[in-house]
Amino acid sequence: MSELPRFNAYVNGQWITPSDGRYFETVNPYTAKVWAEVARCTPDDANRAVEAAHAALTTGPWASMTATQRGALVHKLGDLIRDNARELAEYEVRDNGKLLNEMLAQCNYLPQWFYYYGGLADKIEGAVIPIDKPDIFNFTRHEPIGVVAAITPWNSPLLLLSFKLAPALAAGCTLVIKPSEFTSTSTLKLMELVEQAGFPPGVVNVVTGFGAEAGAALVEHPKVAKVAFTGGTESGAYVYQQAAKTLKRCTLELGGKSPNIVFDDAVLDDAVKGAISGIFAATGQTCIAGSRLLVQDGIYDEFVKRLVEFAKSARMGNPMDTSTQVGPVTTPPQYEKILKYIEVAKSEGAEVLLGGGPASGPECGDSKLFVQPTIFGGVHNKMRIAQEEVFGPVLSIIRFKTDEEAVEIANDIAFGLAAGVWTQSIKRALKVSAAIRAGTIWVNTYRAISYLSPFGGYKMSGLGRENGIEGMREYLQTKSVWISTAADVPNPFVMR
Ligand code: NDP
């Protein structure tokens, strides 16, 4: 019997062992040690979780709770997350190797999602429609969409889960969550808080395990009404196809290859920091990475010089150490993928300005998952390194001459998640922001996110929006109720 901590799945308010008794190991990317075992849920376990979520949706205390009562529970969960933020962040770091600084900032911010949507729960009002028939009273209700399958990736497990969990609960939905196999434990720790907050059994469930097993079973289950997915574009497109078989609603938050554009009137040192935060924060493992840096001709040489100098000073090391700036990559497959792209870029003729390979040294501990912060110059937009998502600390710099050319390059890609614009001209900022086909544009800042502002992709970066009031609507459906006040039922052979 293993000595490692074991994490079970959470179904119908119970901690359950997987039906075939199998567990998988979870590895700390920095220490390279297996530190826990997690339930490998089967499709049967996923089906059981959906049945529990469906029962909680249709019968029992959750189904009869008022929106105000629901909102209060969601708010209470926010308080519990606030009180346990550090512990949650440490679980995330052990699983994904991202910086404690980053995960702690995220976990400290999470309660705001629960306060905002908890407050919104009882403010979603239907309308009385001034219907064009004198003997009909017509009104609308916004009802919960049903059971939600929330499927999350490994890079920011609890942040990306909160984008889904808080509005879904506030809307009155129930959920089955499937975290990434690489980062299950923080989501399971969160379930302890769900329990403490007093959510009835079955309202929130977690099945851990593999996408093709537990995840696929959720996407196929006829009693799941909606899939809220964050992950890669390829998996997202596959999930969308599978979900279509039972006409599920889908929100898909997918990959990106976001342009970060530096114009010649930008404050260069600010833009350097913006470029760094766009690609080296979180070791580049963020969907919103500003991985295509477009730099205007007149400032190109000076800007690139300052950028490389700054990037050189990035401190790699133990992610638990608060002075570390760049940690390991989270998973071995991701590490291999990043190195492969570095080779692709070299073979395409891109010029290595910094890094360009694996990193080793005492600062990397026992981890074999460090990649040097890497900058490629001389990239043009047709290269694979400019078009495909690397999801690592690899920056491609593209030179441009005019504003029109910058916009053309920015839009000449399948993705459309985000973009950065660095300029002191408000006219230019507005014009370029309007012209770029992406869901989020940052001007003179990068990587800012809030529970208040809608987030999502254009083009292959996704469908639907998370956060803000739009994020709540994705968990509601509208019902129109018609009440006759007529003295009798008119001619039944004619439409009213
Ligand atoms: P994946 O797409 O591989 O996986 C995401 C989740 O989907 C995981 O829980 C995975 O399970 C699950 N999954 C995979 N296949 C299926 C399936 N057939 N049915 C149901 N579930 C499935 O992404 P990663 O975890 O590798 O995350 C990295 C990707 O996520 C990057 O491409 C990044 O751009 C994107 N991302 C997008 C964000 C956004 O908001 N737009 C934010 C963060 C990341 P398992 O891993 O256990 O197999």
Contact 279 CB / ligand 1 (< 6 Å): no
Atom of ligand 1 nearest to the CA of 256: 34
Tell me the three-class secondary structure of the chain, residue by residue: CCCCCEECEEECCEEECCCCCCEEEEECCCCCCEEEEEECCCHHHHHHHHHHHHHHHHCHHHHHCCHHHHHHHHHHHHHHHHHCHHHHHHHHHHHHCCCHHHHHHHHHHCHHHHHHHHHHHHHCCCCEECCCCCCEEEEEEEEECCEEEEECCCCCHHHHHHHHHHHHHHHCCEEEEECCCCCCHHHHHHHHHHHHHCCCCCCEEECCCCHHHHHHHHHHCCCEEEEEEECCHHHHHHHHHHHHCCCCEEEEECCCCCEEEECCCCCHHHHHHHHHHHHCHHHHCCCCCCCEEEEEHHHHHHHHHHHHHHHHCCCECCCCCCCCCECCCCCHHHHHHHHHHHHHHHHCCCEEEECCCECCCHHHCCCCCCECCEEEEEECCCCHHHHCCCCCCEEEEEEECCHHHHHHHHHCCCEECEEEEECCCHHHHHHHHHHCCCCEEEECCCCCCCCCCCECCEECCEECCECHHHHHHCCEEEEEEEEECCCCCCCCCCCC
**Does residue 225 sit in the same domain as residue 312?**
no
Tell me whether residue 490 is in a domain: no
Please tell me the distance between residue 180's alpha carbon and the centre of ligand 1 in angstroms.
Answer: 7
The residue to mutate among 95, 180, 467, having the most atoms of ligand 1 within 8 angstroms of its beta carbon, is 180
The residue to mutate among 106, 148, 181, 235, having the most atoms of ligand 1 within 8 angstroms of its beta carbon, is 235
**Does residue 187 sit in the same domain as residue 52?**
yes
Contact 467 CB / ligand 1 (< 6 Å): no
**Does residue 164 sit in the same domain as residue 228?**
yes
Atom of ligand 1 nearest to the CA of 181: 47
**Does residue 10 sit in the same domain as residue 68?**
yes
What is the count of structural domains for the chain?
2
**Domain containing residue 346: CATH number:** 3.40.309.10
Contact 230 CB / ligand 1 (< 6 Å): yes
Atom of ligand 1 nearest to the CA of 179: 9
Please tell me the distance between residue 230's alpha carbon and the centre of ligand 1 in angstroms.
Answer: 6
**Does residue 210 sit in the same domain as residue 310?**
no
Contact 215 CB / ligand 1 (< 6 Å): yes
**Does residue 216 sit in the same domain as residue 296?**
no
Q: Which residues are catalytic?
A: 253, 287
Is-above-0.75 flag for pTM? yes
Please tell me the distance between residue 151's alpha carbon and the centre of ligand 1 in angstroms.
Answer: 7
The one-digit pLDDT tens for each residue of the chain (496 residues) are 568 999 999 999 999 999 999 999 999 999 999 999 999 999 999 999 999 999 999 998 999 999 999 999 999 999 999 999 999 999 999 999 999 999 999 999 999 999 999 999 999 999 999 999 999 999 999 999 999 999 999 999 999 999 999 999 999 999 999 999 999 999 999 999 999 999 999 999 999 999 999 999 999 999 999 999 999 999 999 999 999 999 999 999 999 999 999 999 999 999 999 999 999 999 999 999 999 999 999 999 999 999 999 999 999 999 999 999 999 999 999 999 999 999 999 999 999 999 999 999 999 999 999 999 999 999 999 999 999 999 999 999 999 999 999 999 999 999 999 999 999 999 999 999 999 999 999 999 999 999 999 999 999 999 999 999 999 999 999 999 999 999 999 899 998 8
**Does residue 39 sit in the same domain as residue 159?**
yes
Please tell me the distance between residue 337's alpha carbon and the centre of ligand 1 in angstroms.
Answer: 15
Instruction: Give me the phi and psi of 156, to 5 degrees please.
Output: -140, 75
Contact 220 CB / ligand 1 (< 6 Å): no
Tell me whether residue 454 is in a domain: no
Question: In sequence order, which residues have a C-beta less than 8 Å from that of residue 395 and are 6 or more positions away?
Answer: 275, 278, 279, 280, 291, 293, 374, 375, 376
The residue to mutate among 23, 159, 230, having the most atoms of ligand 1 within 8 angstroms of its beta carbon, is 230
Contact 178 CB / ligand 1 (< 6 Å): yes
**Does residue 282 sit in the same domain as residue 213?**
no
Tell me whether residue 377 is in a domain: yes
Please tell me the distance between residue 104's alpha carbon and the centre of ligand 1 in angstroms.
Answer: 22
**Does residue 80 sit in the same domain as residue 222?**
yes
Please tell me the distance between residue 228's alpha carbon and the centre of ligand 1 in angstroms.
Answer: 11
The residue to mutate among 287, 338, 440, having the most atoms of ligand 1 within 8 angstroms of its beta carbon, is 287
Question: In sequence order, which residues have a C-beta less than 8 Å from that of residue 333 and are 6 or more positions away?
Answer: none
Protein residue with least CA distance to atom 42, ligand 1 = 287
Tell me whether residue 493 is in a domain: no
Contact 187 CB / ligand 1 (< 6 Å): no
Tell me whether residue 452 is in a domain: no
Report the distance separating Cα 408 and Cα 402, nearest Å: 10
Q: Say which residue the tokens 């690397």 belong to.
A: 390
**Does residue 31 sit in the same domain as residue 159?**
yes
**Domain containing residue 144: CATH number:** 3.40.605.10
Query: Contact at 8 Å (CB) between 280 and 312?
Result: no
Contact 300 CB / ligand 1 (< 6 Å): no
Atom of ligand 1 nearest to the CA of 234: 2
Domain that holds residue 136: 6-254+461-480
Query: Contact at 8 Å (CB) between 175 and 169?
Result: yes
Tally the C-alpha atoms within 13 A of residue 223's C-alpha that lie toward its C-beta. 17
The whole-number pLDDT of residue 3 equals 83
**Does residue 157 sit in the same domain as residue 282?**
no
The whole-number pLDDT of residue 95 equals 94
Please tell me the distance between residue 224's alpha carbon and the centre of ligand 1 in angstroms.
Answer: 19
Please tell me the distance between residue 182's alpha carbon and the centre of ligand 1 in angstroms.
Answer: 11
Tell me whether residue 489 is in a domain: no
Contact 237 CB / ligand 1 (< 6 Å): no
Contact 155 CB / ligand 1 (< 6 Å): yes
Please tell me the distance between residue 233's alpha carbon and the centre of ligand 1 in angstroms.
Answer: 8
Q: What angle separates helix 67-83 from helix 185-197, to the nearest 10 degrees?
A: 130
| One-letter identity of residue 439 | G
Tell me whether residue 495 is in a domain: no
Contact 459 CB / ligand 1 (< 6 Å): no
| One-letter identity of residue 9 | A
| One-letter identity of residue 335 | Y
**Does residue 100 sit in the same domain as residue 184?**
yes
Q: Say which residue the tokens 């981890």 belong to.
A: 367
Query: Contact at 8 Å (CB) between 148 and 489?
Result: no
Contact 10 CB / ligand 1 (< 6 Å): no
Tell me whether residue 488 is in a domain: no
Contact 354 CB / ligand 1 (< 6 Å): no
